[in-house]
A and B are shown apart, each in its own frame.
Chain A
């Protein structure tokens, strides 16, 4: 690569750009203001000839910094793909000519927009260097699977099949987990009519037969250090011996715990032996092994059984689970079939409020149950009490609208799944009062045992989303957690049945392998998959304030003994939240930094107050808000001619210095567009937009110091579908400025 930086500006006049804009003027701006050494216009830049023109300049003319002024950076990605050079895209199509209406009265302001963007792009690329990739870790083709249930067994087998070696850790003395204790499982293939074998025995056999899978029973993970490509795992046995192993990535398949039915005294659980949970019924069925099922209390053959759905679930009552566990309706149908198997005349009734039979065959299985004579009644059970014949189940018939009851030899409670996930690193620390109250009432919670014992700055285990399930970006990246290289699968991630758990295991195994491969090549994992940049850190300027280590949504950054950040490059997702957090601006990426954005802000022409041409800085998340503006423009939703939009990796990467610079240079308003935050977040980096909002809540002080109105800065949550709303938000800011007047900071 040439030592000297040489900017080449390439301007496309195709797609109507040349009709709407003065190309000569843009060329002049690029060379005179943008200091481009080379500037060329082409009427079809993304064509083979256009791309070749650029490549020739790279090869023959030493151009190494490309400012390509054409369509949005989201278009023509394959065409404009040059290696070993820095590159930015100047959005003249979606960002200028489509964002503005045609007509003579708009020509001047549209041209000003384009000129600004050309200037901004040339100066942005000048602040970039070509990233080379992280070399902190080698390619390590091995996966640690934590948990030996059906999820873990499947993940192990699937990983092994790709040529990876697997370390499989199981806390108990045997493989199989809860699925191994099932008599049979809900059918997984057509015609979805009968319960089928679980397949766990075959999986165990496959695991034991594979020489690349080492099984560690009675073993726990007592320490997980490092990063993808260089995880150091301490495995400790019950006897106390510990060995350390190195793996490339981790699948956490720690599964579920059965719900504690002692919370359900109204259903006589614990008081009457003939009330059992769906987990306990499997043991009865295993004991019967196809023969007649016997009542626990007296061994009498069970002739009538009632299933109570949603037992302790989908309820806000104290001690109940608020969510639906998803597997219990199909499970009750399956278990009712156990009774029909040995005695087709057995009375089997399922009392439900909403029957939910998810999965491809769920509906067929329900139908099969009905055909076998399983009775389904829509009713809400209030109480189970002993009766002369056995048990009386009292319920409100929701179709007939009456209180009624039925007799049963056995009652089965369809209880839910509780994730086995380890302590949440971000759980609210109880206040002193709460602690004292808990001690006084003698309900001190048993501390949850850690599963991974991460040696991380931010806690020992995977962060939770809600109800103890590990956080995963369930829409876009379901297997992802908030710890890069560690993938959760199975009911620790969300409630699910065995088939879903196996699908989950396959997905997580492949993600783990992908992560190890990316780490080996020094590239980012999703969502900036393939990005070679990583956070660079100027130690001499660091004040050890720890904001970066605390705010990183992925717990990527540790601290050394002196409190300086340790970045763990392969744990990083390249969102830039650390860069946004840093008050002394010592964190940057080769191709994205305080300067790349700062240069753009500084190179917008700010007309003086009397021109009545305000400027609005829009910082838009590249994942949702920026595409929304592009698509809005394409669909004819225009926005203010005063706006200058700069895409950011995540709103979390926005450093407040950009705002103070912009405001003190005379911008009249700032609009920040990030993703939805909260429990149902849409942020690709989980916490980025939340962090940004928190920081922006403090910008009021800055505004006050500058004697500026608070309305000049707005932060919004924008979804990729907001193609009408996003432009409108910019227009709202233009209206606000018209109301409150121009900024006094114009020089």
Chain B
């Protein structure tokens, strides 16, 4: 458990809802859920969620902090926005799921081996490095993100797809030697760093308030 997480437990001992409202993207909306369940019925991966969005919202209100933040569920979000457009209360459910995932990651509560979480980290690292995503490197990283042996297997499985992409010039082996990037990389990286600092400071301030 991260230090920040321990601090948050102390701070919001009695109200996980308030913690979510303060620290999670669009968390203010959690209280507006009216428990109709339309989101759960609209999710394309709904059957793979341990806790549907409807349940997650109820668990937040019921103070089930550990269960929510260490849940696999919000990592199943494909960002299809079906729940958002169907929610009769216009709750930005997709964003709350993103926010919960991100907050769980910040607190070090993501379940071990969560594939989407790993992919998301690679994606972020990749984009911050050059300002633009390098699909080849991202792809290779992905194949090997679960270790070398697993990576070889995945690569073999994906080999035909890679060949197809190469043949149609939709993948370039030259990318491995640098590839696309933004020109003002220093400015870009300073901006991202600053944004991260502001956000972290905001959350730490909540913790100490």
Contact = CB atoms under 8 A, between A and B. Distances in A.
Interface of A: 355, 366-367, 370-371, 373, 375-378, 397, 399-400, 404
Contact of B62 (A367, A371, A400): A400
Contacts of A377: 58, 61-62
18 contacts: A355-B34, A366-B34, A370-B31, A370-B32, A370-B34, A371-B32, A373-B31, A375-B31, A375-B61, A377-B61, A377-B62, A378-B35, A397-B58, A397-B62, A399-B55, A399-B58, A400-B55, A400-B62
B35 A399 contact: yes
Interface string B1-30: 000000000000000010000000000000
B89 A367 contact: yes
Contacts of B35: 376, 378, 399
B203 interface: no
B54 interface: yes
Interface centre among A355, A366, A400, A404 (most CB of B within 10 A): A400
Nearest to B88: A363
Given A378-B35, A378-B58, A399-B58, 7 more contacts: A355-B34, A367-B89, A373-B31, A375-B31, A397-B58, A400-B58, A400-B62
Contacts of A366: 34
Contacts of A371: 31-32
A397 B62 CA distance: 9
A366 B36 CA distance: 14
Contacts of B84: none
Tell me the dominant secondary structure on chain B's binding face. helix
Interface size class of B (residues with CB under 8 A): 10 to 19
Contacts, number: 31
B62 A404 contact: yes
Contacts of A397: 58, 62
A400 B51 CA distance: 9
Given A399-B54, A400-B55, A367 B32 contact: yes
A397 B32 CA distance: 18
Contacts of B61: 375, 377
A367 B32 CA distance: 7
A111 B55 CA distance: 70
B59 interface: yes
Contacts of B55: 399-400
A69 to B, nearest CB: 56
The 7 closest A-B pairs by CB, nearest first: A399-B58, A370-B32, A378-B35, A370-B31, A400-B58, A375-B61, A399-B55
A549 B58 CA distance: 61
A371 B59 CA distance: 18
B11 to A, nearest CB: 16
Contacts of A375: 17, 31, 61
Interface centre among B17, B35, B89 (most CB of A within 10 A): B35
A712 B176 CA distance: 93
Interface centre among B32, B54, B58 (most CB of A within 10 A): B58
Interface in B55-89: 55, 58-59, 61-62, 89
A370 B115 CA distance: 36
A404 B32 CA distance: 22
B28 to A, nearest CB: 9
A174 B62 CA distance: 46
Contact of B59 (A355, A376, A378, A400): A400
Contacts of B31: 370-371, 373, 375
Contacts of B17: 375
A399 B56 CA distance: 10
B20 to A, nearest CB: 13
Contacts of B54: 399
Interface in B93-118: none
A355 B58 CA distance: 15
Contacts of B58: 377-378, 397, 399-400
A290 B34 CA distance: 28
A376 B62 CA distance: 10
Contacts of A378: 35, 58
B26 to A, nearest CB: 14
A668 to B, nearest CB: 57
A583 to B, nearest CB: 59
Contacts of A376: 34-35
A366 B35 CA distance: 13
Contacts of B62: 377, 397, 400, 404
A399 B51 CA distance: 10
A404 B59 CA distance: 12
A394 B32 CA distance: 24
A378 B35 CA distance: 8
B93 to A, nearest CB: 15
A51 to B, nearest CB: 55
Contacts of B89: 367
A381 to B, nearest CB: 15
A377 B89 CA distance: 16
A352 to B, nearest CB: 9
A375 B62 CA distance: 10
B53 to A, nearest CB: 11
Interface in B38-58: 54-55, 58
A399 B3 CA distance: 32
Contacts of A373: 31
A399 to B, nearest CB: 4
Interface string B145-174: 000000000000000000000000000000
Nearest to B89: A367
A367 B54 CA distance: 17
Nearest to A366: B34
Contacts of B59: 400
B34 to A, nearest CB: 7
